[in-house]
Amino acid sequence: MKKFCKIKIHPLLIPLFFFYLIQGNVVLFLGMLFFVTLHELGHCITAICFGAKVKQIWFTPVGERAVIKGLETPSFLKRQLVFCSGPFVSACMALICMVCGSKIFAGFNFIVCVFNLLPFLPLDGGNVVLHWAGRKYGILRTASILVKVSRGFGYFLMGIGILQVILYPFNLSFLVIGCYIVYSNKKEYLQITYQTYQALLAEQATMKQVEQIYTKRDVTLGELVARMHFDKYFFYCSMKDGIVEWKSQKEIMELLLKKGAEACVWQ
């Protein structure tokens, strides 16, 4: 039976809708929802063209967020195109709205474009940074740092939001966005870890460029997996009594699932 894309609504979106309803700005809210839908469609269509599948779409206070399955399979450049396609659509919409004389929606699309390019998860710019830095330092090592930084950014926005509410009691935008970013990053690392494990265990991973790395005898499984990324297939080696021992990426992943991250690689 064919599975269809699931659609979910973030709880914070409901009070945001009633906030616009009370102010009599439902048309503005629906207009913004329309343009963030186009933004996310840019991601989805590009991902589908590269062979990925849209598993789920979340309606959130900072726009819609698509959960894309198989995004690690396309090349590094194609993944970057998927991340940047949403802001590109928003930039185009800003230009079209400006030409049509709709300054409000032109400004809104411009803000959506720029805000989503900020280097914080779960924004598009955060995903760009995750995959750029992940190629050098490893996806999980990069994610562990980026999630903490992104959460700090969320708390910063919440602080600005509280000040905003004091000065302008009917404007909750920064507070809502800050809450969403903090909430999202509480689960972001687990989500990235799950996707990374799936990708590194996938059979198609063996079709990528191979990298051989020499390791110390006391290195743990968690340390090796944290250094891996999607664009290469890793082979690790270590020497004992003049004999070189080898373990493939798949062997490392299977040992990790069996023994845990703290277990030693070379027994």
The stretch 66-71 carries a mean pLDDT of: 82
Mean pLDDT for all residues in the chain: 87
> What's the pLDDT score for residue 49?
92
What are 185-229's pLDDT values in tens digits?
988 898 899 888 888 887 665 557 888 989 888 899 999 999 999
Q: Does the pLDDT of residue 178 top 70, yes or no?
A: yes
What are 7-49's pLDDT values in tens digits?
777 776 777 777 777 777 788 888 888 898 899 899 999 999 9
Structure tokens at 91: 């930039």
> What's the pLDDT score for residue 24?
79
Please name every residue paired with 117 in a beta bridge, in sequence order, or none if there are none: none
Cα 19 from Cα 6, distance rounded (Å): 26
For residues 37 and 62, the answer to whether their CB atoms sit within 8 Å is no
Q: Does the pLDDT of residue 92 top 90, yes or no?
A: yes
For residues 229 and 206, the answer to whether their CB atoms sit within 8 Å is no
> What's the pLDDT score for residue 4?
57
> What's the pLDDT score for residue 69?
83
Q: Does the pLDDT of residue 1 top 50, yes or no?
A: no
Global pTM value: 0.86
> What's the pLDDT score for residue 154?
94
Structure tokens at 30: 């629906």
| Percentage of residues of the chain with pLDDT beyond 70 | 94
For residues 23 and 46, the answer to whether their CB atoms sit within 8 Å is no
Q: Does the pLDDT of residue 62 top 70, yes or no?
A: no
> What is the distance in angstroms between the CA of the first residue and the CA of the last residue of the chain?
45
Distances in Å between the Cα of 7 and the Cα atoms of 4, 58, 60, 69 are 9, 6, 11, 15
More confident residue, 225 or 66: 225
Q: How is 106-154 classified by DSSP, letter by letter?
A: HHHHHHHHHHHTSS-TTSHHHHHHHHHHHHHH-HHHHHHHHHHHHHHHH
> What's the pLDDT score for residue 135?
92
